[in-house]
Amino acid sequence: MVAQGARRTAAQVAGVVALAVAVTAFLSVAAVRHGFFDLKVYYGALTFWVHDHGEIYDYLKPGTQYGFTYPPFAALVMLPMAYLPWPAAITVSVAASVVVSAVLIWWLLDPVSRRAGWSRWFTLAVALCLAAAYEPMRETINFGQVNMLLLFLVGLDLLRLLPAGSRWAGVGIGLATAIKLTPGVFIVYLLITQRWRAAFTSMAAAAVATLLAAGLFPDASREFWTSSLWNTSRVGELAFVSNQSLRGVVARLDPDHPSTLAWLLLVLTALGIWAWRSRAAVAAGDEATGLALTGALMCLVSPVTWVHHLVWLIPALILLVDNAMAAPAHGPRRRALLAFAVIAYGLLISRIVWAWEKDFTGLDGFLGSNTYVWISLALLMLLPIRRWAVPAATGPAAGRPEPTGSAVEPADVPQLVEPDRGTPTGERHRVGGPLAVR
């Protein structure tokens, strides 16, 4: 047994090394090096503000129209950067993104590995290699973006604090919203699923953080809320192929005169599907799927969703694998879900939308330039809701779902498996703005 275990471990180590080498080779060809462009914007704006005594929202990166677009609380959080040398700022940015990404992926994958009987370290190592190849993740790192930090704050609430009944549940969502407005959709998620305490905690946290920044930086706060927030010229072109939102789809149909009405109709439709499915997920005790559905919705309804923002699809991709492994082995459901996950992931590492960067006209341009939007829509509509019984007398608390990722006994596994449908039986039951960018 010892020899067999040692051979298995050696094979796993060799597999991880081989995968890491393959991913490194792939990145050497596929990854675009952006030179930490966005981090340079933050660093330049903070340096201009702190050391040159300028107004942070007046700063534009030389030769571009890009400036600091986040609320003043984000400036407060990033303020230490102004006192770091540039190489140290890069190191902190990369290290922070890598650490929080590893923790979040572990939270989502550990229950899957335990249920499937996979080695936990091996599962995480493979997942991190695959995450490194994921285009939104590598763009987040290469731009020096904050996406994974925000996803971590939201995941902390929805995957850890809320299922445990913590009175602090909601603080992470509130802070993420105060840093960048788009995570505020998760406050709406808490409201429509009637987790009132967490919803009000998140609103209070966002308000306190915003008021703290206003008290410390009144001029910057006044400038942001009255002027910079509404200055859309700083965010880039809506029709640019990197904008993988519903607004981007409409804009690419007619770049000169994009239809606001068509966009609003699409947004309302997406919101209706999301509200219905999110309520069903929470009713089933599946908080992780609620997180995944809301992340997909945010990517769709934000007026601008650059490719690097699609890290919010990571929970949905992992849950596709979870649902596949819970389905009967060799059955059609497992094959369909694994195919869905592999195709979606394969497209999301491929840079396929950039083939239409210069010309997105025609049917092929409409379909190809919006590939990542179609994936977000498919995940919103088809990601299965994992259902398992949580008897009122034995659940964690009356009216509160069982924590996502808790141990599931073998007898319960079939309850995770729906018939060959994307949604469970009996589901009768302006987000974004300029700060949706960079």
Secondary structure (DSSP) of 310-369: GGGGHHHHHHHHHHHHHSPTTSHHHHHHHHHHHHHHHHHTTTGGGGGSS---HHHHHHHH
Share of the chain above pLDDT 70, in %: 87
Q: Give the pLDDT mean for 50-72.
A: 92
Our count of domains for the chain comes to 1
> Which of 86-90, 125-129, 222-226, 431-435 is the least confident region?
431-435
Residue 300 counted as domain residue: yes
Task: Give the pLDDT of residue 401.
Answer: 41
Residue 331 counted as domain residue: yes
> Which of 55-69, 330-344, 346-360 is the least confident region?
55-69
Residue 400, Cβ neighbours under 10 Å: how many?
Answer: 16
pLDDT at 8 over 90: no
Higher pLDDT residue, 3 or 423?
3
Q: Give the pLDDT mean for 29-33.
A: 85
For 227-261, write each residue's pLDDT tens digit.
888 776 566 689 999 999 999 999 999 999 999 99
Share of the chain above pLDDT 90, in %: 77
- The number of CA neighbours under 13 Å toward the Cβ of 171 is 7
Residue 397 counted as domain residue: no
Residue 176 counted as domain residue: no
Higher pLDDT residue, 393 or 305?
305
pLDDT at 112 over 80: yes
Candidates 63, 60, 78, 74; CA nearest to 234 is 60
pLDDT band at residue 346 under the 50/70/90 scheme: very high
Q: Give the pLDDT mean for 189-210.
A: 98
Supply the range of the domain harboring residue 278.
240-386
Task: Give the pLDDT of residue 255.
Answer: 93
Task: Give the pLDDT of residue 232.
Answer: 61
Residue 23 counted as domain residue: no
Residue 378 counted as domain residue: yes
pLDDT at 420 over 80: no
For 224-234, write each residue's pLDDT tens digit.
999 888 776 56
pLDDT band at residue 44 under the 50/70/90 scheme: very high
pLDDT at 66 over 60: yes
pLDDT band at residue 403 under the 50/70/90 scheme: very low
Task: Give the pLDDT of residue 65.
Answer: 85
pLDDT at 430 over 60: no
Higher pLDDT residue, 292 or 394?
292
Residue type, 93: S
Q: 3-state SS of the chain? A: CHHHHHHHHHHHHHHHHHHHHHHHHHHHHHCCCCCCHHHHHHHHHHHHHHCCCCCHHHCCCCCCCCCCCCCHHHHHHHHHHHHCCHHHHHHHHHHHHHHHHHHHHHHHHHHHHHHHCCCHHHHHHHHHHHHHHCHHHHHHHHHCCCHHHHHHHHHHHHHHHCCCCCCCCCHHHHHHHHHCCHHHHHHHHHHHCCCHHHHHHHHHHHHHHHHHHHHHCHHHHHHHHHCHHHCHHHCCCCCCCCCCCHHHHHHHHCCCCCCHHHHHHHHHHHHHHHHHHHHHHHHCCCHHHHHHHHHHHHHHHCCCCCHHHHHHHHHHHHHHHHHHHHCCCCCHHHHHHHHHHHHHHHHHCCCHHHHHCCCCCHHHHHHHHCHHHHHHHHHHHHCCCCCCCCCCCCCCECCECCCCCCCCCHHHHHHHCCCCCCCCCCCCCCCCCHHHCC
Residue 75 counted as domain residue: no
Helix (H, G, I), strand (E, B) or coil at 400: strand
Residue 255 counted as domain residue: yes
**Average confidence score pLDDT of the chain:** 88
